Structure 1
Amino acid sequence: MEIPAEQPRFFQVEPLEGESLSHFLGRFRRENYLTATQLGKLTGIGAVISRWEKFYLNPFPTPQELEALAAVVEVKVDRLIEMLPPKGVTMKPRPIRLCGACYQESPCHRVEWQFKDKLKCVSEAHPKDARHQLGLLTKCTNCETPFPIPADWVQGECPHCFLPFAKMARRQKRY
């Protein structure tokens, strides 16, 4: 009699509101001690995971790829789609952008920060909210090191001088 192979069990990671797929994948991989390559093998979609973490979404993720990822990370496909740009919106993969004020409120990289036409941060829930009308940062306000991809944001701080992202809001310019 053949014993069925057990599916590996993973620690669940809940997506945060507005979080980018890159940031979510990095959090999931760290929580489960996986590399991008290992996650790609587990999902059966290979190196695509690494491309998505870098915001290289051309070609755009297929429904089959998203279903394969959803099965492993235990997040609904609809929720994964929310972490991607809407149809017709172009992403700018570099430089990585950040709003320190928003990061202080919810420590995650927001997908909207990488939209090509996005230069300032305005709260989507409160578009007229002046406290979010800050120019997006592209590098550390202390040492000017460009931000790494969000999948690599472990502590929420500059990887060079260790200034927390939340403290960078003090030096953000009003837009």
Structure 2
Amino acid sequence: MEENIDEKREIWLTRVEPLDGESISHFLGRFRREKGNKFSAPSGLGQVVGFGAVLVRWEKFYFNPFPTQQELEALATVVELHADRLRQMLPPIGVGMNHSPIRLCGACYGESPCHKIEWQFKKTAGCDRHQLRLLSKCPACEKPFPIPALWAEGLCQKCFIPFAEMTKYPKAY
């Protein structure tokens, strides 16, 4: 029976390569939307992995309880990555997370279009690389950013300004 599941997975799942520093939320959203995968919700992927709604919490940066090695290995099998690589998309043990607002550095996003896990750390106030404060809402229309799993286009969902073009708005950090 297990061989049958593996054969089916090869037919309908497309591998997605993680980006440097990418958050688990952003990665899971990209994975679900990839041609051939098309999971409409994290719970659908969670069912395939075998632990239901856990991925819904992870996409919203709720890691209490923290993902177990067994959970990471189960997800790693489905997304065809090493569990250690998935672990890199999570916060370090003991580092507090901001669940909201969702934050970003437009300059970083322009260089590598993904949400960085470090942007949600409680201790992170700005981008050390670009010396800019992180944005927590669109600087033009003030709409808060949705969870990174929903960042299909990389732009504000209300006024359509690309995240990469938001670099002219934040204040120096």
The TM-score normalised by the length of structure 2 is: 0.93
Match of residue 106, structure 1, among 99, 112, 116: 112
The correspondence for 1:169, drawn from 144, 151, 167, is 167
Spell out, residue by residue over 1:19-76, the C-alpha distance to the aligned partner (whole angstroms, 9 max, x if none).
0000000000001101211100000011001110000111000000000000000011
2:21 alignment counterpart: 18
Separation in 2 of the partners of 1:51 and 1:155? 22
Aligned residue in 2 for 1:76 = 82
Alignment of 1:72-151 (within 5 A): 72-123=78-129, 132-151=130-149
Identity %: 61
Q: Deviations over 1:122-165 (max 9, x none)?
A: 13xxxxxxxx1100000001100000000000000001111000
Q: Distance in 1 between matches of 2:108 and 2:67?
A: 27
* 1:27 alignment counterpart: 30
Q: How far apart are the structure 1 equivalents of 2:139 and 2:154?
A: 14
The separation in 2 between residues aligned to 1:72 and 1:118, in whole angstroms, is 32
Tell me which amino acid in the other structure corresponds to 1:136. Answer: L
What residue in structure 2 maps to residue 129 of structure 1?
none
Gaps of at least 5 residues in structure 2 are none
Cα deviation, residue 5, structure 1: 2.2
Moved over 6 A (4+): none
Q: Is 1:5 the equivalent of 2:10?
A: no
Aligned partners of 2:75, 2:128: CA distance in 1, in Å?
30
Alignment of 1:29-48 (within 5 A): 29-31=32-34, 32-34=37-39, 35-48=41-54
- Tell me, in whole angstroms, the C-alpha distance in 2 between the residues paired with 1:58 and 1:17: 24
* Partner SS state of residue 4, structure 2: coil
The aligned amino acid for 2:148 is P
User: What's the secondary structure of 1:67's corresponding residue?
Assistant: helix
Q: TM-score, normalised by structure 1?
A: 0.92
Q: Cα distance, 1:77 vs. partner?
A: 0.6
- Matched AA of 2:163: F
Residue correspondences, number: 166
